[in-house]
Structure 1
Amino acid sequence: MSGDQYTQVRRPVSRIAEKVLGWLSWIFFTIINHHYDVYRTSFI
């Protein structure tokens, strides 16, 4: 009984956390790639 309630509460939270982590990783990689391009062009 308590296990079912736990999964019902847990599922939407993990789904939101999954979206947030996906956005954060996308933004992080975008910033890293941008800085890498800036450094690469500045060295040339």
Structure 2
Amino acid sequence: MKKKDPRPAPVAFRLTKEQQAKLKSLNPEQSIYLTAKQIVEKHLAEVA
């Protein structure tokens, strides 16, 4: 993960959310999906 400005964070969050949906549709049992979910939750916590 690259640390630049807090502004691109929402963009990365949206991309991660889309990728999460794709990973869930393709392989919901993959640990990557769980990791993405955790990242999304952490990001939401930071933004909130």
Q: Normalising by structure 1, what TM-score?
A: 0.46
More helix by share: 1
* Higher relative contact order, chain-length normalized (CA < 8 Å, sep 6+): 2
